[in-house]
A and B are shown apart, each in its own frame.
Chain A
Amino acid sequence: MSSEEQKILTTDGIPLEVSLKKAERKNKIKAFLLVAPLLLFLLITYVFPIGDMLMRSVDDKMVTKMLPKTFKAMEQWDGKELPPEEVFEAFYFDYKLLVEEKTFGKLSTQLNYTKNGFKTILKKLQRKMKKFEEGNYKEQIMAVHPRWENVEYWRAIKRRAPAYTSQKYLKGIDMYKNEDGEIVNVPEDRQIHRVLWLRTLEIAFFVTLLCFLMAYPIAHLLATLPMKYSNLLMICVLLPFWTSLLVRTASWMILLQQQGVVNDFFVFIGLVPDDARPEMMFNKTGTYVAMTQILLPFMVLPLYSVMKTISPSLMRAGKSLGGTPFVAFWKVYFPLTIPGIGAGCLLVFILAIGYYITPALVGGASGTLISNQIAFHMKSTLDWSFASAMGLMLLAGVLAIYWVYNKLVGIDNIKLG
């Protein structure tokens, strides 16, 4: 035996590894070319937008770019008392440039986000600035409006110096950085987002639970019925997929509204008096009912695909070995369906947590979710960076849930079909 490591050669004398790589290369290239379009598509429609969203949610360069000289001069200022003359001078020239470019309106909007009252004093400054004389800008500016003498406003400007900010994220959970740079809660009467987050989690959780409770027997029936009945049942389960989401949601509105079919029926059978019809629409009830119905197939299908593979003789074995029907179900059948339960619950929960159309249409004020808030900021307030921040928080939340889920159930244990 030689101590040298001997390489295995092919019959032609080429090392085996090299020869293997050569033989496989063509297949590898082919495989890559086949997935390349999808890869490109995902990159363009998924990775880039999310990256852009991330940038947008922390981007605060606008003010930084508009007041370059001011922020440079402010670097030396400790923020305890009014800034020195240089800062005023720098601010004057920065602002003058913005006025000439007619972009000063944006600055006033942005600074007003940070502290109320900037709009008025900036407008006044713009009018009075034309008559300013050279030198001693501090006094001239302070003479425009008493607020310019207030150190708070200068501190507010300084807070906008960094190019990146976590402000939008803090706002998303009803917190903000106060004048001293501490992170504090928004006063309770002005908190809106925390309620929405909690409500989103709550609705997603209960919708998942309801879907599970309803889907389990259906899926079992589907898996055990003879073919001719199970096919029909399967069509019934899939039927909602054939109808537009909007139509389905709208029909729930017709059914559940106060003068709707369900309420009419309740009154007819005397369950509720005519003048006290329960409100089942434009609140949480409506959201629960409509979302459960819409997401039900996503629970049924993974459960069905798992149950289909469970041999009926296992339940029989459980019973013949002395287990009561319940024990046989609980110890034998149920554990075998866990992969399906895992897949179904994860699917429904993640879909529910970001659901938009249905809660927007039937949720009313008490049944809207965080996604509706995101849409609101996208369309109405045009605060895209805030919408991006909340979108990312939602994404992070889903990933966190996925992680916890992986720890509890194990992703390998999940079977989607």
Chain B
Amino acid sequence: MPNNLDFVKFDKVDKSYDGKVLVVKDLNLDIAEGEFITMLGPSGSGKTTCLMMLAGFETPTNGEIYLDKNPISNIPPHKRGIGMVFQNYALFPHMTVYENLAFPLRVRKFQKDEIDKKVDKALSMVSLTGFENRMPGQLSGGQQQRVAVARSLVFDPQLVLMDEPLGALDKNLRESMQYEIKHIHESIGVTVVYVTHDQSEALTMSNRIAVFNDGKVQQLSSPDKLYEEPVNSFVAEFIGENNTFAGQVTNMSKDQCKVKLSDGSEIIANPVSVTSNGDKTTVSLRPERALINTKEKMDNNFKGKIEEVIYHGDHTRVRLDLLGNKEFILKVPNSSANMDIKMGNQINVSWNSHDARALDPK
């Protein structure tokens, strides 16, 4: 794969609809060729606006977007050659599946036999061969979705945009479609920009994820890094489950710091975005990184009271009252060693200071 690292480049892009509020603020983002990148964020975070600017349906208020090193702000959508899958599929209801797929080829003046070949190929890619003469209304949601994907790929675009394409499907179908889209991406190597507000979708599918909030990219990294090493408390909160402690840095050293909590106790944490003593901070700890009654040696050891136990089959969720935080969540693997988890019991909870990330205050 020729690694063109800035195949798509957002360069200092601002966007405002009303001249008062910036929806996208100073966006700088490079997308490599062949990459599957996801824009993830809550609604109103500006991710769809970015996608629309890339597709050409919105113009950047400031800055420039480059596609393969060419500025594209003045190129109308139909000349950009970007495939797009819309939120509600946007299949043309008056055309058959075949005609839907043939549309981008016909406007490009392809020959009839070439159109047939490409449509066949695209349909077999989404395993819908034989559905050529159906109308979109006769297809199920998942099938419509696959037609939409096939249509966005049938004219061999270098870049495909997907705007929450799985939002309308039910959970099981959504998961299987995630894998399907991922496999298609891997097999044809097209660059995909995917927009979603569903973090598990983003984590399973992407090479890299750009977490959006408040018109800005909060963090751009691979899924594992995003989950393991969030750079600020928004990302830590938004991706996965998270236990937080609010406090103040008291003892700062190179790779450790002490944080004094509101109830007076002190924990040892990993200083990520704090620099000096007295800084306010939110310490973030993933539930599965805290262990109970462990024999391993860890530098944070505390006692907590069990407030609630919820059985989840393979694991048990335990809510603790720990260090003044009544919403402290633990995930306990379902093994015989943990039989004494009962409401009201006091248990020992330990974690490594490296996993407790001292981030910006909320």
The interface-forming segment of B83-91, B228-236, B243-251, B340-348 is B83-91
A313 near B86: Cβ-Cβ < 8 Å: yes
Residues of A within 8 A of B86 (CB): 313, 316-317
Q: Chain A: which residue is nearest B79 at the CB level?
A: A322
Which of A321, A325, A331 is the most central at the interface, judged by chain B CB atoms within 10 Å of its CB?
Answer: A321
Known: A313-B86, A313-B87. Contact between A319 and B94, CB under 8 A? no
Classify chain B: how many residues form its interface, as a range: 20 to 34
Residues of B within 8 A of A259 (CB): none
A317 near B84: Cβ-Cβ < 8 Å: yes
Binary CB contact string for chain A from 307 to 324 against chain B (1 if under 8 A, 0 otherwise) = 000010110111111111
A327 near B107: Cβ-Cβ < 8 Å: yes
Interface check A98, CB cutoff 8 A: no
Binary CB contact string for chain A from 271 to 290 against chain B (1 if under 8 A, 0 otherwise) = 00000000000000000000
Binary CB contact string for chain B from 74 to 108 against chain A (1 if under 8 A, 0 otherwise) = 00111111111011101111100000000110011
Interface check B155, CB cutoff 8 A: yes
Residues of B within 8 A of A321 (CB): 78, 83-84, 103-104, 107, 151-152, 155
Binary CB contact string for chain B from 169 to 206 against chain A (1 if under 8 A, 0 otherwise) = 00000000000000000000000000000000000000
**Bound CA span A322–B77, Å:** 7
A322 near B90: Cβ-Cβ < 8 Å: no
Q: How far is the CB of A275 from chain B (nearest CB, A)?
A: 53
Residues of A within 8 A of B79 (CB): 322
Residues of B within 8 A of A320 (CB): 55-57, 77-78, 80, 82-84, 161
Residues of B within 8 A of A328 (CB): 78
B90 near A319: Cβ-Cβ < 8 Å: no
B78 near A311: Cβ-Cβ < 8 Å: no
A313 near B90: Cβ-Cβ < 8 Å: yes
Known: A321-B103, A323-B107. Contact between A332 and B92, CB under 8 A? yes
- Mark out the residues of chain A between 320 and 340 whose CB falls within 8 Å of any chain B CB in the assembled complex: 320-325, 327-328, 331-332, 335-336
**Bound CA span A119–B225, Å:** 111
Residues of A within 8 A of B108 (CB): 322
- Mark out the residues of chain B between 147 and 166 whose CB falls within 8 Å of any chain A CB in the assembled complex: 151-152, 155, 161
**Bound CA span A316–B56, Å:** 10
Residues of B within 8 A of A322 (CB): 78-79, 81, 104, 107-108, 155
B92 near A316: Cβ-Cβ < 8 Å: no
Which of B57, B86, B92, B151 is the most central at the interface, judged by chain A CB atoms within 10 Å of its CB?
Answer: B92
Residues of B within 8 A of A336 (CB): 93-94
For the complex of A and B, 10 pairs with smallest distance between CB atoms: A321-B104, A317-B90, A320-B84, A313-B90, A319-B77, A313-B86, A319-B78, A323-B107, A322-B107, A322-B104
A residues engaging B (CB < 8 A)?
A: 311, 313-314, 316-325, 327-328, 331-332, 335-336
Known: A321-B78, A321-B103. 12 other contacts (CB 8 A): A311-B88, A314-B92, A317-B90, A320-B77, A321-B84, A321-B152, A322-B78, A323-B107, A324-B78, A324-B107, A325-B76, A327-B107
B residues engaging A (CB < 8 A)?
A: 55-57, 76-84, 86-88, 90-94, 103-104, 107-108, 151-152, 155, 161
Q: List 9 A-B contacts (CB under 8 A).
A: A311-B90, A316-B55, A316-B77, A316-B90, A317-B84, A319-B56, A319-B78, A320-B56, A331-B103
